[in-house]
Homo-oligomer: A and B are copies of this chain.
Amino acid sequence: MARFMGVHDGFVGATKEQISAVHVADPAIEDEEGVHFEKAWLDPEAGKFFCLSTAPSKESVMRIHERTGHPTMEIYEIREEV
């Protein structure tokens, strides 16, 4: 398993409820793709949304975002954490 940081735009004015709904994706989809979302952070003014996840591959993270209606091309594989 690897870790990924996804960066999403367009979440201007989003609420905690909305990001929770996005972040806690349908558990069935999480299971199918093997993706687990750990944590997410929102700047509703800039509309930036950061999602930290563990997953088997970058493609699996992209797929889960597509399937939950929030596609992004900005997924970074985290190799170091301090």
Residues of A whose CB lies within 8 Å of any CB of B are 3, 5, 7, 14-16, 19-20, 23-24, 39-46, 48, 50, 52, 76-82
Contacts and interface: CB of A to CB of B under 8 A. Distances in A.
A48 to B, nearest CB: 5
The A interface, classified by DSSP as helix, strand, loop or mixed, is: strand
A43 B5 contact: yes
Contact of A41 (B15, B46, B81): B81
Nearest to A47: B76
B81 A42 contact: yes
A78 B46 CA distance: 10
Contacts of A82: 16, 19-20, 23-24, 39-40, 42
